[in-house]
Amino acid sequence: MSAITAARGGRRSRLSSLLLHGTLIAASLVSIFPVVWLVLTSLKPRDGWLSTELQIFNQPSLGNYARVLGATEFPTWLLNSLLTAGLTTVMGVLLASTTGYALSRYSFPGRRGTMWLLLVTQMFPMAILIVPLYNLMAALGLLNQVAGLIIAYMTIAVPFCAWMMKSYFDSIPREIDQAGLIDGLTPFGAFWRLVLPLARPSLAVTGFYCFMTAWGEVAYASVFMSQQEKRTLGVGLQSFIGQNWSDWGLLTASAVMIAVPAAVVFLLIQRHLVAGLTSGATKS
């Protein structure tokens, strides 16, 4: 009787395994289908996507990519986006890490208020902040300037990343800092040479978040960058969309090329993402 039960249990286990793997395979196919369709559409000849026939891969061509790179301002938009996202990432990581370290290690007047301020800034949607930020940028002469757009992006990225970095620094023993001070390091030296290398996973997540905040953003860039030569990718692609038409050949080819830098950044830091997102999660 026990053998029959065990056999039945084995059959149920195999069935559950098949259902599980089948569900995972189906979910994976559903997830990658839009990406595959995007790539295939970008390889269709000019106006090939207008055909009423369902053609998966017929007469592939790089004509859309050639048009994007040679007949549009895409290279300029790409350089503007790379510059903006790169500087936002570097400055965002620097500000978030130093702010998080200060909040984690030091007690100073206004510390709790600063923590609450960083938290409250995350409660406001971007649409509400556009007008006051625009007035501020106009008063400072930062409209149509890369510096103004970077500052706007850091108002989004730095508060969240500073909280995340603080949680990670809380998980690093304070004895490491104290040992560095005993050995003659300055407080900044202990932070830079001892603590910061241990926070590489969290730094990777912070850098990725800052990069993606600037790379795919449209609302701030549309308002703060009105000049044609200052447009970023998110704003420039809107020129491929008219009131009564859309050039899907250009849009899909541009989307594929836009995804490449983000994919490269993700591949470079993927091994740190899980550790950076979970470490320090149980500490306050």
CATH number at residue 103: 1.10.3720.10
Per the structure, the count of domains in the chain is: 2
Mean pLDDT rounded to a whole number for the chain: 85
pLDDT at 236 over 70: yes
133 and 264 inside one domain:
yes
Answer whether residue 57 shows pLDDT above 70.
no
Same domain, 36 and 73: no
Residue 53 included in any domain: no
- Helices (H), strands (E): how many in the chain? 13, 0
Q: Determine the Cα–Cα distance for residues 104 and 214; give it in Å rounded to an integer.
A: 27
**Cβ-based neighbours of 101, under 8 Å, separated by 6 or more:** 165, 166, 169, 191, 195
Residue 237: name the closest of 72, 59, 121 by CA.
72
**248 lies in some domain:** yes
| 145: phi then psi, degrees, rounded to nearest 5 | -125, 140
Whether 52 is in a domain gets the answer no
User: To the nearest whole percent, how much of the chain has pLDDT over 70?
Assistant: 86
Residue 81 belongs to domain spanning: 66-278
Task: State residue 54's pLDDT score.
Answer: 56
Average pLDDT over residues 235-243: 83
Distance between CA atoms of residues 74 and 233, nearest Å = 7
**Rg from Cα positions in the chain:** 25
This prediction has a pTM of 0.82
Residue 56 lies in a domain: no
What's the pLDDT at 4?
47
**194-203, 236-245, 267-276: which range is least confident on average?**
267-276
Q: Do 204 and 107 have their domain in common?
A: yes
Per the model's pLDDT, the better-predicted residue between 9 and 221 turns out to be: 221
Strand partners, 241: 246
- Alpha-carbon gap, residue 44 to 40, rounded angstroms: 7
Q: Are residues 32 and 162 in the same domain?
A: no
Tokens of 231: 């447009």
Residues 138 and 262 in one domain: yes
Greatest mean pLDDT among 118-122, 208-212, 277-281:
208-212
